[in-house]
Amino acid sequence: MATATTDPVRLPPGPRIPKLIQTTAFLISSHEMFATLARRYGSNAVRVNLPHNNDAVVICDPLLAKDLFSTSSDIVERAPSGAGAIGAVFGPGSTFSLAGDEHRERRKLLTPPFRGKRMQGYERIIEEEVMREIANWKQGCEFTTAEPMLRITLGAILRAVFGADGPALEELRELVPPIITLGSMLAVCPPMVRRDLGPWSPWGRFLRERRRFDAIIASLIADARADPAVEQRADVLALLLQARYDDGEPISDEHIADELLTLLGSGHETTAASLAWALERLSRHPELLSELAAEADAGGSKLRQATIWEVQRTRPVLDGTTRRTKTRIRLGEWVLPKGTNIIISIKLAHESENDFADAGLFNPYRYLGAAGKPAAWIPFGGGVNRCVGAAFAYMELDVVLRMLLREFRFVTTDAPGEKARWRGVATVPSRGARAMVYRRNAKSPKGVGSLSAVGNR
C-alpha cells in the first residue's frame, strides 16, 4: 500500500524527448510505448509527458498496481483528467463524477444489485438475447461477430439493468448506440468541444439525444413507482429506486438517469469486445474449441471459466486505468508529488512473466489446478474504483459462450490473430472478430470443424 510521506520527491525514469514526439508514440500505440520504456529503463514504473498528463507516471509492474489499488482514497483518487471528461458526458450524478465520501456512499448502494448471487436471475434474459440474435445467423458465410455481440450486450443491459420492456426497450435499442459512440468521442476531446454551439454541433447533438434518453428513463422510473410489485423486481433500476443512503434519502431521479447511462457506457461495449475477442481466440485454437464444446454439452464450466480469464488477460479491452495523488506519497521506491497523474497499465501487468509463465501464449490451461488467478490479473481494475459490473460481465460472457458453443460449430482458422484496434470505449479485434459457423444440429459439409482456414478474406 502507498503511504503519505514528506520524503524528497523521487520520480521514476523517463525519456527527455519532446512532448510532441511522446504524444505521437502514445497515439500510435500507448502499449508499445509503455512496454518499450519499461524495457529500456528496466523499471517497474516510468515517467511520460503527454497532453493533460504532464509528468504522468506509468505503473508497469503488478505489485505496484496492487499497492495503489489498496491505498486509501484519502491519498489517491481516480484521476480527474480522464474521468472528469467521462463524468461530463455521463452527468454529475454518475459514479465517475463522484469522489471521496459521495463516491463511497454511492458505491454502497450500487454494489448490492451487482453482487454475484443476484446474477443467476439475469441468465434467462441473456439467453433470450442470444436466441434473438442468432436466429438469423447464416451458415457457411463469413461475418463479423463484433456487431452481434454489441446487440446482445445492449439488450442484456437494457433489460436486466434498466428493466426496460416493450416500446421503451425498442426505442432504447435504437437510441443508445449513437449516444454511446458520440459520448465516448466527446469524452476524449478537449473541453472546448463539449460546448453547446447549436443543434448541429457535436455537444448540441449529444444533449438533444441525452434529453430523449432522459425522457425514456423518466417514464421507466414512473412505471416502476406505479408498479405494486416493484419490491419483487430484480432489475437494477428498481433496486436503485428503493435504495436509501445512510441518512434515509433516496438517490434522486436525475442521478439515477446519470447512473444508468454510466452503467450502459461502461458495460455494453466492454463486454461485447471481450466476447468478440473470445470468438477470435477460439477460432484459432481448434483443440480448445472442441474441448469447450464437449464441456458445454456435459454441463461443465471450468475450462470455459479459465478461457474467459485468459481472454481477458491476453486481450484486455481496457489497456489501463488512472489515479491521481492527493498528497505526496511513497509508492515502492518512488516518492510522487501531490497532483501526479498515474496510469496503471493493465496490459503490462498481464504480461508479467513472474505471474504468468510464457505470458505471451494464450493458454487457459494455466489456471486449471491452480488456486485461482494471480493478483496480477486485473482486467477490472481494483480497490474502491474496481469495476461495479465485474460479476455481471463475467456471467454474461459465460452464458453467451456456453450457448454459442452448444448451438454452433465454429470453423477454425490458421490465419494470424486479429490486431487490436481502439473503438472509442474498448479495444476490439481490428477485423471485427470474423467467423464462419454451422449449426451443430444441422448436417455439416465435409471438412468443417477441422482446421480449415477462414483466411484473411
Residues binding ligand HEM (CB under 6 A): 78, 95, 107, 157, 161, 262-263, 266-267, 270-271, 274, 317-318, 321, 379-383, 385-389, 392-393
Q: Whole-number minimum distance, CB 439 to ligand HEM, in Å?
A: 27
**5 Cβ partners below 8 Å, 6+ apart?**
328, 329, 330, 335
267 or 432: CB nearest ligand HEM? 267
Smallest separation (angstroms) from ligand HEM to the CB of 395: 9
Helices assigned H by DSSP within 284-345: 286-297, 302-314
**Cβ-based nearer residue to ligand HEM, 62 or 379:** 379
| CA atoms of 260 and 395, how far apart (whole Å) | 19
Cell numbers that stand for 99 in this block: 469522489
Could you tell me how many residues make up the chain? 457
Q: Which three cell numbers stand for residue 257?
A: 438517469
Shortest distance in whole angstroms from residue 263 CB to ligand HEM: 4
Q: CA quadruple 167, 111, 64, 68: dihedral positive or negative?
A: positive
Least Cβ distance, residue 19 to ligand HEM (angstroms): 25
What is the longest distance spanned by two Cα atoms in the chain? 72
Cβ distance to ligand HEM smaller for residue 94 or 413:
94
Provide the minimum distance between the beta carbon of 343 and ligand HEM in the complex, in angstroms, as a whole number. 11
Edge-to-edge strands, sheet with 45-50: 45-50, 53-59, 341-345, 320-325, 76-77
CA distance 312 to 29: 19
What Å distances lie between residue 335 and 32, 38, 75, 76, 420, CA to CA? Answer: 26, 18, 13, 13, 34
Contacts of 285 (CB under 8 A, 6+ apart): 362, 412
How would you class 418 by CB atoms within 10 Å of its CB: exposed for 0-12, middle for 13-18, buried for 19 or more?
A: buried
Residues 6+ positions from 67 with CB-CB distance below 8 Å = 1, 2, 331, 332
CB of 197 to ligand HEM, least distance (A): 30
Cβ closest to ligand HEM, residue 267 vs residue 449: 267
Angle subtended by helix axes 286-297 and 302-314, to nearest 10? 140
CB–CB of 47/56 below 8 Å? Answer: yes
The residue among 263 and 376 lying less far from ligand HEM, judged by its C-beta, is 263
Q: Which amino acid would we find at residue 250?
A: P
